[in-house]
Amino acid sequence: MNQLEQLKQMTTVVADTGDFESMRAYRPQDATTNPSLILKAVQQPEYRPLLDRTLQEYRHCSTAEIIDHLLILFGVKILEIVPGRVSTEVDARLSFDFNGTLDKARQLIALYDAAGIGRERVLIKVASTWEGIRAAAELEKEGIHCNLTLLFSFAQAVACAEAGVKLISPFVGRIYDWYKKESGINYQGSDDPGVQSVVRIYNYYKKFAYQTEVMGASFRNAGEIRALAGCDLLTISPALLQELQQSQEPLVQQLVASAAATLNLSRMEIDEKRFRWEHNQDAMAVEKLSHGIRAFTADTLKLEAMVQGG
């Protein structure tokens, strides 16, 4: 078997793309989207008709409503290809807005419901701010499952687990980027700080029997993926899916739940004060979270400009 096939035997493989053809080619279980991926997709000729269709059908709606309908249209099309779930993101400008996040998540789920898509097939992506995590806790109680994104610190991961969210997405590659820029070191495999972050979170979750799923995300190279083989899920770009598919080398499982359960770890008690303090102590996490929110917001604004320009 090639490495992608081997990986699928130990980890749920998720496509990190808005490209339908890539999903058909690599047959992932789930797919994730974000504003940047949707913006990239609608700029391509083969996906422009989805934007045009949405603009025509909802021309009397507000820009925000049109974008919501566009996101759901992409999600529905994706779910015609993948057998599992699709992740659809709440507007990053709501990252510090508890009530706004709740409202937007409910609106997105209502649109999926109207399209005949069951809640079990949708994950609502929410930024891993304190406000986002608390909103996700409420949404989970309503049966709206959440994918907590832009996750960089251990404090974020602990708070998400305590909140009972369905899934978290630690951003491996963006952590790597920060440490490489700071140190000048081209980290490899298990020495990669992004990989180490996911390993720590995974072991902690399994040790204390949290049900929250860990999905490594934002990879820079296939070595990071190989070092996390065995993680609950990994969301992978088409280029790296292709690289794995083309390799016939044996793939060794690195993360094992039963082994993590035997580790001698201390449990972190977390509340808002502890969360904010611990997160603030991690300079990388503070910088990358704020940068990620700004970047997703910038792409949302570009998408809005496309909608307004027709």
Rounded distance between C-alpha atoms, residue 41 and residue 157, angstroms: 30
Is 273 an active-site residue? Answer: no
Rounded distance between C-alpha atoms, residue 128 and residue 153, angstroms: 9
Closest CA to 82 of 123, 48, 142: 123
Rounded distance between C-alpha atoms, residue 149 and residue 303, angstroms: 20
Secondary element (H or E) of residue 140: helix 130-141
Backbone phi, then psi, for 22, in 5-degree steps? -65, -40
Secondary element (H or E) of residue 52: helix 48-57
Rounded distance between C-alpha atoms, residue 10 and residue 254, angstroms: 10
Pick the catalytic residue from 8, 104, 125, 141. Answer: 125
Positions annotated as catalytic residues are 125
